[in-house]
Structure 1
Amino acid sequence: MTLRSHLITLVLVAVLPLLLFSAIVVGLAADSERDATERGLRATGRAVSSAVDHTLDNAIGALEVLATSELLDGGDLPGFHKVAARALEGQRGWLSVAVVDRAGRQVLNTLRPTGAELPPPADARTVAAVLARRLPIVSDLIASDLPERAHVVVAVPVLRGRALRGALLTALDAHDLARVLEAQQLPHQWAAAIVDGHGVVVARVPEPQRFVGQPATAAYVALTARGDSGAARMPGLDGVRRHTVFNRLENAGWTVYLAIPTVTMDAGFRRSLVTLIGGGLVFLAAGIALAVVVGRRLTAPIVALSTAAVRLGAGQLPDTPPGSRVAEVAALGGALTDAARRRREIEGEREELLARAEASRERAALLAEASRLLASSLDYEATLERLARLLVPALADLSVVDVVGDDGEIRRVAAVHADPAKDEAARELARRFPPDRRGNHPVARALRSGRPELTGEISAETLETIAPDPAHRELAQAMAYASYLVVPLIARERTLGALSLVSAGSGRRYTAVDVPLAEDIARRAAVAIDNARLYRQSEARLRAAEAVAEIGGFLNQALDPEVVGRRIAESVRGLLGLGTSLFCRVDPYTLEMTIVAGAGAPIPGFEPGTRLPAGSATVGLAVRERRPVTTPDLLSDPRITLTREQRAMLEGLPYRSVLAVPLLSHERVIGVLALGDRRGRLFRQEEVLLAQGFAEQAALALENARLYAETRDANRAKDEFLATLSHELRTPLTAMLGWVRMLQSGTLDAATAERALQVIDRNTKLQAQLIDDLLDVSRIVTGKLSLELRAVDVGVVVEAAVDAVTPGALAKSVTLERRIDAAAGPVWGDSHRLQQVVWNLLSNAIKFTGSGGRVGVTVDREDPHVVVRVADTGQGIAPEFLPFIFDRFRQADSTTTRAHGGLGLGLAIVHYLVTLHRGTVSAESEGPDRGATFTVRVPLAPLRPTAHAGADAATGVDRRPPLAGIRVLVVDDDADTRDLVTAVLGQSGAEVLTAASAEEALDTLARARPDVLVSDLSMPGDDGYALLERVRALGLDRDGRVPAIALTAFARAEDRARALAVGFAVHVPKPVAWRGWRRAEAQPFAGSARISPKTRDATRRASRANGAPT
């Protein structure tokens, strides 16, 4: 065999296997390339689907945030229209925002002004679906006459708990979805499309305007029906056959398609195949032709190509094959190099898409974990600590959470570093240098503005803003701060704090891309903080209610003001967690305050027992204004008055924030509760209301204690009064009985007997006055005392009272002075009762004024009153007794060694009578032995009546009417009274018959037929009422012509009314002033037939003169 044959054989043997191997390699490479391309295509499709899902997620999330607005709860559509308009400006691709009610009616649309008439929703099916399912809904494409107006509707329900209020909708521009596809930067000739649930193209790139709104091909629809994802080769709407992958979206019934032309996908294989066949033929021909010449030169390129194929199969970039003059061999080497490079590029793109998808998954997982942490506990401080630890190192090297306290100050609750070795240093830095809310710190700026603060690179100037203190700056530099992002924590339109993310040593730099995720976390954290605070407030209210109930039960039994004050101060301080508290008693007249009790840290100069001037400190301001007063710093509050000593004591104390609450009882301030805490604290409204509740309980307890003390004092005063009454009754009775016994003995001479009668007369009048006072008090207590009102000249009344007390004043050598303004004017009143008022005051003044003293009375006109003043130079009134001077049964001296007698009722009667005349009476005294002045003010009469000089004048008749020829039957079971009445009537000329009982009286009536019947009402057996009824029934009174007089000790108004109703003509109470007896006797006697006409006329005149009816 020749060399050529051998060479040819060698070439054939060498080339044919090489060609076969190359074909296999090309086939494998093509298959691998197609597989890699399809995997990249699937990964890219998932990334594109995630991007579209994220866009819809953002729209749904934004709408759900808007749906929580309180403006929708209150029906404030204009306010919500503004909020929605601002949200619309911040959302790219949103065309409008609309609100529908539960019935599906459109009530608001940002495309129209508030209040405009709105048509039904364009996509009624989507509205019905979201209202029925109560879940977010994304509609299919809503086409329009203009392609640029095609859009989809995103709808979310408006829920309040389980209650459906309506739905919130936005129209999302379909071109915005096309921009999402464009943002994926797909390779040339790749196509992506979004198809809705009805098979209509929502968006497509390239050529979005051409295909939006067109139905997808039947092949696409059939491919989608097989599952949520898949791949196939099919022609598109433009007729180009493509390799297509699809993925179903999570948030909508849409499908995202990603396609690459099959020509492009198979181009490498065809190119390699053509190259292989052509090169093989050329190489075979050349080998046969030049086998001998190029045999050896072919060996190196073939070996190099084999090596390159092996590296390519291993996924490595092959070395550049050696140059060859054989074009096919060189082309094959270049093709292998290009295929390997392209494979690496596709692998890089796939890795990038996978990295993006992984980052999105990690962000979703981070948000889910953050939500779980925030919802796991109502202790938001511990929860925020765990949240800060979760965010490092995922989002930051240093995570810090600040909250705004009740006092408005910034408080750091968490500071966590990714490096455990620096964690404690970060905490120490946060504790030592908290941001000043009024400063230029990024946290303070974010809290004030409500917007994120972002710095990509912290410069020296920025670091100085963050850390103005050199020590702070040095520590910050040691921590290697490089970049920060601060987002505010906002819930219910209130900024509750801030979340700070700091890059320190990791090389991370924050950009605007990081803001949405940080804001999402901050929003969830703010909701958790707000919920926790609401829960704490609810718990605090519950504890407060329980404490108020408990303290109420205790105070209902407490009667000691000091115990009440101490318990209230301790309870309120403990419940509100304050530093100190004080409880003060207030004098309702001077408003001077006395510290009764305190709790918590003691305050020098404000110990229990300390007296505070009226109006001083915060408590004084609360007392003066009669309402709660709060101040964050009492030393800098211009409303608060402090003495120099008090200011000096308070300057060094931390408790300068004060809440003072007055205790009101019957419109009077009786105490004040003061609560103190650190300077700058602002008391919340619920804390003020709680303190007010405790103050009301304390006021009620103090009022109960006061009433108890008054009741106890009143009982003691009544006991003392009864002892005094016994003394005042027994003393004159002793003298009267003693002289009566001596008169009965008949051993007294005429002078001594006259003196005895004077003593008996004086003591009898004294007894009568005591009884009158007691009866007046009884009428006052029962409300039975009445006035006979008419125009009264006060001057005349005072003159009469002065004349009445003049003998007593002369007997004590007391000078009695008077000054009466004749033009003072009349008052509308009862002259008898007004004279009683003046007589009591004058008698009282004379009683307590020693020999040589002076008593003066003046009458003046001080519009619109007439003023009567009674002043004396006597023993005066002690200051501690002055407030009780008009109390019943109260006497300045009720001991057994007292110098003056009496029951202590005169001034109480004066006070009541003046009050009944719509006037006032007051007492003044500078103290013991300094005299006293009583001032009576009575309103002037509305009209000055014409004076009738003789209307109230005495008749001048001072003798008893002659009763000669009159037979009187006196019935009384008391023998002394019968004898006395018999003697008085006998001196008047009457014939007197007596009876000791009703039965005896009936016998006498049957025998004697008297002209007048005088009967007691209270008798054994039949009383006076029964006697008169039997007399009338038996006809023993000459058919009712015998008048009857009731002479009784029952002197109440109801007793008089009953007597008159039964048939008595006159009711005369015991004891009887016999000088005025003619009033009673003149009335019935004037009608007696046995009286001569002359006597009858005289008695009638006397009766009329004395005001008795004839």
Structure 2
Amino acid sequence: MRLRTQLSALVVSALVPVALFAGLLALLYSRDRQTEVNRDLFSTARSLSRALDLEFEAHIRALEVLATSHYLDVGALRGFRLEADRAIAMSPAWEAIVLVDPGGQQLVNTRVAPGTPLPRTGLAALVARTIATQRPGVSDLFIGPVAKRPVIALAVPVVRDGAVRFVLTSSTSPERVRALLADQRIPADFVATIVDGGAVIVARSLAPEQFVGGRVSGPLAARLAGSDETLWDGRTLEGEDVRAAVRRSGVSGWAVVVTVPSAVVQAPVSRALGYLSLAGLVVVLGGLGLAIVVGRRIAAPITALADAAGALGRGEPVQRPPSSIVEVERVARALEAASAERGRAEASLRANERFYRSLLENALDMVTVVDAQGVVVYESAAITRVLGWTPAERVGRPHGELVHPDDVAVAADGIARGFRAAGVAQTFRFRARHRDGTWRDMHSVGQVFVDEAGVVIGVVNSRDVTGQRRAEEELALQSRALDAAANGIVITDRDGRIVWVNEAFTRMTGYPAADAVGQTPRLLKSGRHEHTFYTRLWDTVVSGVPWRGELVNRRRDGSLYTEEQVITPVRAAGGQITHFIAVKQDVTDRKRVDEELRQQREVLYQSEKLAGMGQLLAGVAHELNNPLTVVIGRATMLGRALAGGPLEPSVRKLAEAAERCSRIVKNFVALARQRPPTRQKVALNQVVREALELVAYPLRVDDVEVTLDLAPDLAPIWGDAHQLHQVVVNLLTNAHQAVRETLPPRRVALTTRADAARGRLRLEVSDTGRGIPPEIRPRVFEPFFTTKPVGQGTGLGLSICQGIVEGHGGTISVADGTPGATFVVELPAGEGAEARAEPEPVEPAPPARRGIVLVVDDEAEVGGLLAELIAADGHEVDTASDGLDALDKLGRRAYDLVLSDVKMPNLDGRGLYREVERRFPHLAARMVFLTGDALGAEVSAFIETTGRLNLGKPFDPDEVRRLVNRMLATL
């Protein structure tokens, strides 16, 4: 087949896909056009439906507000009528408001005057639906029974106590809907129609006067009864074929129908198909004509190319045939270039031979060529620089004559292996003799080649490594020295990857060198440092500055240790950093000792604070006990005076509150008092109650619910009440701190039980906090161990509790499997049951004789109270404000009994006692001391030394009277 025929066929075959593609474009354009029209139809329908919903929702919200009228709560229809009239006046969209009862009877209608008989509602179906669903509703278009014209009604239920009492409706004109439609921007080719639930046309954008009030066509009505949103192709009431988008309102159930004529949709597609058909015919005819012309112009140059190719094959010079065709011209140029390249290749081969010979002559390494017998046939000039011999001296000589006698076998074996395995490189080392008689270490790589003629030769490349060997020996010596170092040493590359570690590193971390090399120091990361810590460290060393500091790292076995580390950058000759050297020292033991010393200093500091607090509490207790003495005494006296009267309960509450204050002060004092342990019978439940009373206020402030479940009739414990009190307070304080960090409800429970079989008493203190993680439970009783932030605990509380409990022969532990934390204390029980009832108050017996008593107290109220209490039993009482005043009275009158405070200005109780012993020795045995200083060691020692009786403030008034009467009875 000729070239021109093939070109014509090519043109036709090329145009067929173009025609198919044009048809495909027309089809896609048709689809895109229809998709665009459908999208515009639905967008318009949705916008109109939303506008209709907003209109109805505004009416419904206004009606719902009116339905909340309080007049409807009480059935006041006249009052409601006034509110409805005001609503009509304020809302021009409403024509009337009608209130209907559940039976359909109109109760209020703003269209007619009040008092006019009203008919039953014409919206029975809407009212029934509203009552059934208890939701607002919208009616279809209907003729109002009172208005006598088309209206639309909206209804909302009036719900009271979960039942519909009324239905409130309002009517509006369909003109509102038509106006709404007119306000929308509807495309020129679109027609919008609003249809109610009965398929009646309420509004239409085109010819509304012709179609409003009528029903839509049957097919459209059937489609309206289907889904809430659909696309429909059909015929309008005018008989025009259209495409319609239907959107149903979610509020009213009405439908919005937007149509466009089918001709409008198809017209652009038809025009496009016509244009494409005409253009295709023109292109086909023009292509065939052009193919015939071009074919003639291509054939002649191709013939010339065939002639040029034949000349190239014969090795003749190629003459490039001229052509205007780019491809033909390119082939012609390629043939011409191939001819020129052939000449250049021959010249290049000659140049390469000269280059490689020069390369061998100037190489730093020795290059030796030997024949199969090991005789040198070529030696490079480098032998003169390396061994001092000239190439001419070596050619024709055996290769092995310069090899050290001990290495001859090694060198010969390397060359022999090369000749046995041609083409495989062989590596060997040997010593070669220099011209000056010294020996040089040589590293050689040899390989055997077979040329095209079958001649076998061996090529040996040898390098002088004498200096390298010495450096390796020095490096090995340094490595052994570093391995023997006591500190761990790590060398990393510039990227932080470990390249060497010593034995001390392995002992310190547990990682052998084989496992560490190739890793990064992150291998030891403990997680105890923030990411920014490592970032700052890395930024420091890469800047060339050594870093010194401490890190907490993790050994291979998972244990943590603290190390001091110095990281030093190593620089190359050019100044760039190539490696880092880290020197490590394990300082875990030193840090532990330092921490123990710090904690001991903290304990000493806390002890000093407690001692200071004790002194402060002593002063506070003294200052509080004096007024409490007055309050308790006066309340007791007032209670007796008002016994049986209406104020007796109030006075009793006053006395109980004062007693509670007194107990709180005593508990604080007992907790802070430093005293040697004593053993006596202790009621565990009483210890629990007193401890709880001490911390009750902060528990209440943090909304902590405390539950007491104390077993009755517990046997007493033989122990120190104050130490056990300290244990319970500590456990309660820990539970309080645990639940304070959680959301309510916060609960703490205290439970006591008796285990008769084991002879033990059990106390449980549990909370609803986050609990204690299993991994730290074994450590909670260790001294100085704490999970609290710095400054919020010494870590000694539970350790001290454990020491106290075990000192009583008991145990303290943390229970497993409980929410929150539960501490269990078990103590050995003593004999006998715990007393449950408080002793009944005993009325002081009448005095056996009347006496003269001197009361000495710097607090006038306390002195006056004591004087009244004692005088009530018929005794004569004088008061003195301090020791000097008392001595003055003692010098002027004989007294049978002296009650004296200890702490007073001028002359205190101790000074007064010494003066009484000196001046009135018979009266010293009849002195009774009063004190509010519960913590003063000096006061306690003084009273114990005298052997005199002591009344602690605040005291029981009846106890004072009994004591005075008992002492006077012995005279």
Range class of TM-score, shorter chain: 0.3 to 0.5
Larger RCO of the pair (alpha carbons < 8 Å, separation 6+):
2
TM-score relative to the length of structure 1: 0.31
TM-score relative to the length of structure 2: 0.35
